[in-house]
Amino acid sequence: MSRFIQDMEAFFVAPETTIRDAVKQMDRTAHGIVLVVDASRHLAGTITDGDVRRAMLAGLGIQESVERLLDHKSSMPRHDPITAPLGMSDADLLHLMNEKLLRHIPLLDETGRVVDIALLSDLAKEYEPQLQAVVMAGGFGARLRPLTEDMPKPMLPVGGRPLMERTIEKLKDAGVTRVNITTHFRPEKIVEHFGQGDGMGVDLNYVNEDQPLGTAGALGLLEEWQEPLLVINGDILTTVDFRAMLDFHRNHESHLTVAVRHYEVPVPYGVIECDGVDITGVREKPNLSFFVNAGIYLIEPDVRDHIPGNEKLDMTDLIERLIGDGMNVVSFPIREYWLDIGEHEDYLRAQEDVEQGRFEH
């Protein structure tokens, strides 16, 4: 019997498996990795949650094979799978994971066959992300009036519960128990509902903005933080994996990681491509494809020095400032459910998605 995992088959995929099916299998195991093996269980490579998100940024479609993803991965640093021999001590496995920033290591027998997988969550039962969070809840929610005439937008009920309650619950499930809430409009509505967070098993700290300071400017009101800070807009309904985002952030040695969402805009006309006066091509009613800001960020402590005290600063301005200062800013593509509740139709969709089970907590 496996020392760490009862069912190794749940981690195995064949090279011809599609990325879509590999992701489904990865999500079923909830460990953020699948192992690409041949019929004899010899390891061809590993596909992690981070590999899938990097493939999204590179434009690989979900119908591509994992073999194609491995080919793409081979052009990147650290593309060879890190493995260990079966029987390696727990202490040595933990050391290897800490050194390589890994949460899982395939274990091979003397013939090179995969027989087990070591998981950080098994080796370090107390493992929790060193992370605190900020939920931005100071806006007026003007576009959702009259629903927000007397209620902060994050407190609007979604599926019979305040939207922010779902956000805090999601943070707690990811091991985040220290949560700051920035407030401005009707802060008492939030404080009366959540108190100090005892009812949800978290420690809540309220940071009131006397005047709106913007997403980044409000962070200047916080005490200095010593670990990455997860910042999320209070009007977002999502199942994004915050642990996966933190792993991605650390693996890329990022100062600021921005969650992004794929977005397409259909153009209802033929697009003419020109070089000066010469027409070089025509694209009939194309879809323009972008990654847009999803309102979720991971921020390193040293970024605090770039945030002025008690001055308005939007997160987009902070991003530009850090890029200009040569700091590492990376994008984390969301593949999970995500909805920004900014308009009335968004709010109606959120209600329907929760009722129909399309949003899974």
Closest CA to 330 of 216, 248, 263, 261: 248
Cα separations in angstroms, 42 against 73, 74, 87, 350 = 19, 18, 18, 45
Task: Give the residue ranges of the chain where pLDDT is below 50.
Answer: 1
Q: Please report the sign of the dihedral spanned by the C-alpha atoms of residue 145, residue 151, residue 154, residue 157.
A: negative
Strand intervals (E) in 243-358:
256-266, 270-275, 278-284, 287-299, 329-333, 338-340
pLDDT of residue 260: 96
Cα separations in angstroms, 201 against 121, 186, 194, 196, 230 = 21, 24, 11, 9, 18
H-run or E-run covering 66: helix 66-73
pLDDT in tens, 98-107: 888 888 999 9
Q: Where are the alpha helices (DSSP H) in 178-241?
A: 187-194, 214-217
pLDDT of residue 79: 67
The amino acid that residue 59 corresponds to is: G
pLDDT of residue 1: 39
Which residues does 90 contact at the CB level (< 8 Å), separation at least 6?
123
Contact between residue 285 and residue 269 where contact means Cβ atoms under 8 Å apart: yes
Pairing verdict, β 270-275 and 278-284: antiparallel
pLDDT of residue 338: 94
Q: Residue 180 forms beta bridges with which residues?
A: 134, 205
Cα separations in angstroms, 3 against 6, 10, 86, 150 = 8, 15, 10, 56
Strand intervals (E) in 98-197:
104-108, 114-119, 132-137, 157-158, 161-162, 178-183
pLDDT in tens, 15-54: 999 999 999 999 888 889 999 999 999 999 999 999 999 9
Domains and CATH numbers, the chain: 8-123 (3.10.580.10), 132-356 (3.90.550.10)
- Maximum distance among all alpha carbons in the chain? 71
State residue 323 phi and psi, 5-degree precision: -60, -45
